[in-house]
A = this chain, B = another copy of it.
Amino acid sequence: MQHDLQHTISLLARTPTALNALLRDLPETWTLCNEGEKTWSAFDVVGHLIHGERTDWMPRAKIILQSGESRPFEPFDRWAQERESRGKSLGELLDEFTRLRSENLSELRRLNLRPEQLELRGRHPALGVVTLSELLATWAVHDLTHLHQISRLMAHQYREAVGPWREYLGVLHCAGHSA
């Protein structure tokens, strides 16, 4: 399946509502627990998604449109949420993510990107040359990789509670496939 900008936007627009439906007011045993040292909770993931809205996707799209390969992207801080989410509630983070995503998608739609613009190139600090199309497709799959992570880390809390069914539940056998 080729990248389709309208399909990407359809998915990106749904993530805040889906996370809100899943996580808001859920007991903290589901939302604040992680999978062990140096792993994230659902609370951490929402903070990470917020940081992406602020510093990753649209800022990088604008770098590609304005400077192409000549200006590499800023490296992304994968641990920024430890600092930025401090003192906030999960409800506040969900509200913030919803607002930022909505603003970013409004900006993306306003750009009214033409197919040839989607082929414009930028430079990732580690991956090298990438296209605007690849960046926008990655934005959507990045949402899905964190939905995948949230479902896994929540399931992890019941890994003992399910008893012998553990064998059948694929999510309990997933270690995350991190790079």
Using a CB–CB distance below 8 Å, which chain A residues touch chain B?
1-4, 6-7, 10-11, 14-15, 17-18, 20-22, 26-27, 29-30, 33, 124, 127-128, 130-131, 133-135, 137-138, 140-142, 144-145, 147-149, 151-152, 154-155, 157-158, 160-165, 167-174, 176-179
Q: Which residues of B contact A178 (CB under 8 A)?
A: 170
* B144 and A163 contact, CB distance less than 8 A: no
* B3 and A161 contact, CB distance less than 8 A: yes
Identical copies in the complex: 2
Q: Which residues of B contact A14 (CB under 8 A)?
A: 21-22, 26
* Interchain residue pairs with CB less than 8 A apart (30): A1-B29, A1-B161, A6-B27, A7-B27, A7-B30, A11-B26, A14-B26, A15-B22, A17-B21, A18-B18, A127-B164, A130-B163, A134-B161, A134-B163, A134-B165, A137-B158, A137-B161, A144-B152, A144-B155, A145-B151, A145-B172, A147-B151, A148-B151, A148-B152, A148-B155, A148-B174, A149-B170, A167-B179, A170-B176, A173-B177
**Apart from A4-B27, A21-B21, A145-B171, what are 4 other A-B pairs with CB-CB below 8 Å?**
A7-B29, A15-B22, A18-B18, A144-B152
User: Which of A10, A15, A161 has most chain B Cβ within 10 Å?
Assistant: A161
Kindly state the separation between the CA atoms of A138 and B14 in the bound complex, as whole angstroms.
Answer: 27
Q: Which residues of B contact A4 (CB under 8 A)?
A: 27, 29
* A interface secondary structure, majority: helix
* A148 and B165 contact, CB distance less than 8 A: no
* A168 and B179 contact, CB distance less than 8 A: yes
